[in-house]
């Protein structure tokens, strides 16, 4: 099959807490993880808004405690969900930023940017993170990048996948493919093992990240990678473990100091950051101290957390992970005895208790931890990106067969879910199902499309509904409904009534909370606007720095007697007062345009040069 795209193409792991970008390097026959401007291989999925700029990544996370209400994270937990979703209602309690219900129950995040209130949806925040990852890659490759493969949790539903794709479009990316995170990690594992000619192998991928948990069972044989089953929870990960610790410590602090932190966003943000750090310490040490000076009302925070306490606080969540592992094996109809490797992926898979539970379940089997759990997903995505492009050399010719995580169907009779495509069916797939009208002279039929495993349709997730006009006829008139899932795992439904020779094709319209093409267009324009504003800010900072550097050099020269002694006293006074003015210009917080600094620097240079020229 001809490849549609031309390189360069990147793989982006768009994580709840951190994101990672990689690119295939044909000179080295491998995918390379790209460092960001801070030299880090992973970038926080944080976006912040201030009075004069927008920040993304490390810069946003680093200022989170001082600007909690305008520092947005966890967009992946919001994306593709309704505001009324209980998951969002619960998470909101711990988010320092404000989330409100927008049109059609779509969550909107409210921030203050340059003194004005802005409403943003999760797709826009994610698009900003994607833009950052793209820029990191462009800097490294020294060329523009348009094509990308973006990963999503295997257990993401249709709305969450579509919303992620929309985020890519807003970021100006051509999202060639959406692939599942554990499958991408499977590719990374497979490439590592390829050299050793391993034959057929059943591989269990355990991917516990910052916000989501996914497991997949793959069978690898030569160059073919077949996903047999997948399972997961789109709301289970490191963030939940941190939150448990935060809740516990807020209670402890209240008990000891009679001070309640729970309403203070800044204190909670500082505590959350400290808890995340302590959690990491507890992965190699048995206790960790959390110390935060003057956390609230001048009281210092100083508490010790033991690994045992951390494990106790999260016990049910760790056990939930194990239930999902069992469920995946059952879906694949595979006994745990014939799993060859259990591969650890995602930062939270480093937690010793999680590893121990998993190892016990697999009867003492060594867990495979030779791939970097933070980077494997981006690595696999970069391989997939290279595979989809023309002209990229030395890419192994892998064939990937993924599955759909949730059953898809329609509601029939008294709200029974009629499954058209069962979960864990290989994708892409196209399946037709025939339905018939229920009444004589029926003029239209309603088709509701659901995803989920419950037998009662309304207990599942309603993806959309449509109404198809049909020829009036006695009951039993056949209607053909076609479900197709593309390689991104995204569903399209159409229906037709052929009997009169009058074919009608209808695609799903009333999609849950999906952005319209007009909204996406508006967001693309806004993204351009944000970019232009960012550039404006960068130029201003550069101009300020140039002035600051020049003032620094001048100060040094003025201290040098061999120079200063030769200047006239009038020139000395003029130069000194210009230097004081320049310093004031930089230090004072009044908003100023870039040209103010550029013009001042030019004038200053002229004053200085003409004074020096006099004594040459
Ligand atoms: P990921 O989404 O794969 O980037 O995973 C990020 C999550 O992994 C965050 O919640 C981190 O706090 C967590 N994490 C990273 N390193 C460790 C560690 N050594 N121990 C426990 N959790 C970790």
Q: Are residues 264 and 181 in the same domain?
A: no
Secondary structure class of 249 (helix, strand, coil): helix
The pLDDT assigned to 505 comes to: 60
Residue 602 belongs to domain with CATH number: 1.20.1270.10
Q: What single DSSP character describes residue 159?
A: H
Distance, CA of 52 to chain centre: 25
- Nearest-CA residue for ligand 1 atom 1 is 209
Report which of 320, 366, 323 is spatially closest to residue 341, judged by C-alpha positions.
366
**Any domain includes 330:** yes
Q: Are residues 301 and 252 in the same domain?
A: yes
Cα 238 to ligand 1 centre (Å): 6
Q: Which helix (H) or strand (E) holds 332?
A: helix 307-332
Secondary structure class of 527 (helix, strand, coil): helix
Distance, CA of 470 to chain centre: 43
The pLDDT assigned to 79 comes to: 95
Question: Phi and psi at residue 545, in whole multiples of 5°?
Answer: -65, -40
Q: Which helix (H) or strand (E) holds 203?
A: strand 201-208
What is the total residue count of the chain? 616
Q: Are residues 229 and 82 in the same domain?
A: yes
Distance in angstroms (rounded) separating the CA atoms of residues 83 and 142: 41
- What is the pTM (predicted TM-score) of this model? 0.88
The pLDDT assigned to 309 comes to: 97
Instruction: Give the mean pLDDT per block of 10 residues along the chain (616 residues).
Output: 76 96 92 96 97 94 94 95 92 92 92 95 97 97 96 91 94 95 93 77 95 94 92 93 95 92 89 96 96 90 95 97 96 95 96 97 93 94 93 84 92 87 94 91 89 87 84 90 90 84 58 72 86 86 90 86 81 87 84 88 88 72
**Any domain includes 1:** no
Cα 92 to ligand 1 centre (Å): 21
- Nearest-CA residue for ligand 1 atom 3 is 346
Q: Which residues contact 222 (CB under 8 A, 6 or more apart)?
A: none
Secondary structure class of 228 (helix, strand, coil): strand
Q: Are residues 300 and 437 in the same domain?
A: no
**Any domain includes 446:** yes
Secondary structure class of 311 (helix, strand, coil): helix
Residue that finishes a domain, picked among 315, 349, 381: 315
Residue that finishes a domain, picked among 470, 487, 514: 514
What b/e string do you get for 245-275 counting C-beta neighbours within 10 Å, with b at 16 or more?
bbebbbeebeeeeebebeebbbbbbbbbebb
Contact 537, 52 (CB under 8 A): yes
Tally of domains within the chain: 4
- Nearest-CA residue for ligand 1 atom 22 is 348
Identify any residues that bridge with 450 across adjacent strands, giving them in sequence order. 409, 462
Report which of 148, 106, 109, 145 is spatially closest to residue 14, judged by C-alpha positions.
148
Q: Are residues 155 and 212 in the same domain?
A: yes
Contacts by residues 112-120 (CB-CB < 8 Å, ≥ 24 positions apart): 112/49, 112/69, 112/70, 113/49, 113/50, 113/54, 113/70, 114/49, 114/51, 114/52, 114/533, 115/51, 118/49, 120/72
Cα 422 to ligand 1 centre (Å): 33
Contact 490, 177 (CB under 8 A): no
The token duo for 165 is 């794709």
The token duo for 179 is 């692939």
Distance in angstroms (rounded) separating the CA atoms of residues 312 and 324: 20
Distance in angstroms (rounded) separating the CA atoms of residues 304 and 289: 4
Distance in angstroms (rounded) separating the CA atoms of residues 553 and 12: 43
The pLDDT assigned to 350 comes to: 96
The token duo for 93 is 């309690």
Q: Is 181 a catalytic residue?
A: yes
Q: Which of 58, 123, 158, 181 is catalytic?
A: 181
Q: Are residues 413 and 540 in the same domain?
A: no
The pLDDT assigned to 461 comes to: 85
Residue 598, domain extent: 518-613
What's 339-374 look like in SS3?
A: CCEEEEECHHHHCHHHHHHHHHHCCCCCEECCCCCC
Contact 597, 591 (CB under 8 A): no
**Any domain includes 534:** yes
Report which of 432, 430, 408, 404 is spatially closest to residue 418, judged by C-alpha positions.
408
Q: Are residues 135 and 231 in the same domain?
A: yes
Measured CA distances, 329 to 316, 322, 355 (Å): 20, 11, 18
Contact 289, 269 (CB under 8 A): no
Q: Is 536 a catalytic residue?
A: no
The token duo for 262 is 């729970």
Q: Are residues 21 and 154 in the same domain?
A: yes
Secondary structure class of 568 (helix, strand, coil): coil
The pLDDT assigned to 506 comes to: 60
Mutate-to-test residue for ligand 1 from 151, 240, 347, highest number of ligand atoms within 8 A of CB: 347
**Any domain includes 163:** yes
Q: Are residues 33 and 151 in the same domain?
A: yes
Q: Are residues 374 and 388 in the same domain?
A: yes
The pLDDT assigned to 337 comes to: 95
Distance in angstroms (rounded) separating the CA atoms of residues 75 and 96: 13
Report which of 462, 451, 569 is spatially closest to residue 511, judged by C-alpha positions.
462
Q: Are residues 14 and 120 in the same domain?
A: yes
**Any domain includes 414:** yes
Q: Are residues 326 and 469 in the same domain?
A: no
Helix axes 122-141, 158-170, angle to 10 degrees: 50
The pLDDT assigned to 31 comes to: 94
Distance in angstroms (rounded) separating the CA atoms of residues 406 and 422: 7
Dihedral in degrees, nearest 10, Cα atoms 503, 505, 510, 516: -140
- Nearest-CA residue for ligand 1 atom 16 is 347
Residue that finishes a domain, picked among 466, 492, 514: 514
Mutate-to-test residue for ligand 1 from 44, 151, 238, 284, highest number of ligand atoms within 8 A of CB: 238
Angle (CA) 16 21 24, round 5°: 145
Dihedral in degrees, nearest 10, Cα atoms 384, 387, 389, 395: 120
Distance in angstroms (rounded) separating the CA atoms of residues 377 and 19: 10
Q: Which residues contact 171 (CB under 8 A, 6 or more apart)?
A: 127, 128, 130, 131, 134, 527
Q: Where are the beta strands (DSSP E) in 438-592?
A: 444-451, 461-469, 478-485, 491-496
**Any domain includes 4:** no
Q: Which protein residues touch ligand 1 with a CB less than 6 Å away?
A: 15-18, 209-210, 238-239, 276, 279-280, 283, 346-348, 350-351, 374
Q: Which residues contact 472 (CB under 8 A, 6 or more apart)?
A: 441, 442, 443
Q: Is 402 a catalytic residue?
A: no
Q: Which of 58, 74, 76, 228 is catalytic?
A: 76
Q: What single DSSP character describes residue 35?
A: P
Residue 278 belongs to domain with CATH number: 3.90.640.10
The token duo for 579 is 């230097």
Q: Is 76 a catalytic residue?
A: yes
Residue 506 belongs to domain with CATH number: 2.60.34.10
**Any domain includes 249:** yes
The token duo for 283 is 């992965």
What's 80-125 look like in SS3?
A: CCCCCCHHHHHHHCCCCCEEEECHHHCEEEEEEECCEEEEECHHHH
């Amino acid at each position: 099959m001809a490849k549609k795209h031309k390189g360069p193409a990147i793989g982006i792991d768009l994580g709840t807490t951190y994101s990672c970008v990689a690119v295939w390097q044909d000179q080295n026959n491998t995918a390379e993880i790209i460092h960001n401007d801070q030299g880090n291989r992973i970038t926080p999925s944080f976006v912040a808004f201030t009075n004069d700029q927008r920040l993304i990544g490390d810069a946003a996370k680093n200022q989170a405690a001082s600007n909690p209400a305008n520092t947005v994270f966890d967009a992946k937990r919001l994306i593709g969900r309704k505001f009324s979703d209980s998951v969002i209602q619960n998470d909101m309690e711990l988010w320092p930023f404000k989330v409100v219900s927008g049109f059609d129950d779509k969550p909107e995040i409210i921030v203050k940017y340059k003194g004005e209130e802005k409403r943003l949806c999760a797709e826009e925040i994610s698009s900003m993170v994607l833009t950052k990852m793209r820029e990191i890659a462009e800097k490294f490759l020294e060329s523009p990048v348009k094509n990308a493969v973006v990963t999503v949790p295997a257990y993401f539903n249709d709305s969450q996948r579509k919303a992620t794709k929309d985020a890519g479009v807003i970021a100006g990316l051509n999202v060639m493919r959406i692939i599942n995170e554990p499958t991408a990690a499977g590719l990374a594992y497979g490439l590592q093992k390829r050299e050793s000619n391993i034959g057929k192998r059943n591989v269990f991928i355990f991917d516990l990240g910052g916000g989501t948990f996914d497991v997949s069972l793959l069978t690898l044989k030569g160059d073919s990678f077949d996903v047999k089953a997948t399972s997961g929870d789109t709301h289970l990960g490191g963030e939940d473990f941190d939150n448990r610790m935060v809740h516990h410590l807020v209670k402890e602090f209240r008990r000891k100091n009679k001070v309640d932190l729970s309403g203070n966003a800044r204190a909670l943000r500082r505590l959350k950051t400290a808890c995340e750090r302590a959690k990491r310490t507890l992965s190699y040490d048995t206790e960790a101290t959390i110390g935060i000076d003057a956390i609230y009302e001048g009281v210092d925070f100083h508490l010790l957390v033991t690994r045992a306490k951390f494990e106790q606080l999260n016990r049910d969540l760790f056990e939930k992970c194990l239930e999902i592992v069992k469920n995946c094996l059952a879906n694949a109809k595979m006994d745990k005895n014939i799993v060859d490797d259990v591969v650890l992926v995602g930062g939270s898979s480093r937690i010793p208790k999680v590893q121990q539970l998993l190892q016990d379940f697999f009867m003492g089997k060594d867990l495979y931890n030779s791939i970097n759990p933070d980077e494997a997903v981006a690595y696999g995505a970069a391989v997939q990106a290279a595979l989809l492009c023309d002209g990229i050399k030395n890419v192994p010719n892998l064939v990937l067969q993924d599955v759909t995580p949730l059953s898809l169907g329609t509601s029939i009779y008294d709200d029974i879910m009629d499954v058209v495509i069962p979960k864990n069916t290989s994708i892409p797939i196209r399946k037709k199902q025939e339905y018939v009208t229920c009444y004589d002279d029926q003029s239209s039929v309603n088709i509701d499309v659901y995803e989920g495993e419950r037998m009662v349709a309304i207990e599942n997730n309603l993806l959309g509904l449509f109404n198809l006009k049909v020829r009036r006829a006695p009951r039993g008139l056949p209607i053909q409904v076609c479900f197709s899932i593309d390689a991104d795992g995204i569903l399209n439904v159409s229906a037709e009534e052929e009997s009169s020779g009058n074919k009608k094709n209808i695609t799903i319209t009333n999609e849950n909370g999906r952005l319209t093409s007009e909204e996406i267009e508006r967001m693309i324009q806004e993204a351009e606007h944000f970019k232009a504003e960012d550039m404006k800010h960068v130029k201003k900072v550069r101009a300020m720095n140039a002035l600051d550097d020049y003032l620094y050099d001048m100060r040094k020269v003025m201290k040098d007697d061999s120079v200063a002694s030769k200047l006239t006293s009038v020139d000395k006074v003029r130069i000194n007062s210009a230097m004081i003015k320049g310093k004031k210009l930089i230090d004072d917080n009044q908003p100023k345009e870039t040209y103010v600094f550029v013009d001042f620097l030019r004038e200053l240079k002229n004053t200085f040069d003409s004074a020096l020229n006099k004594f040459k």
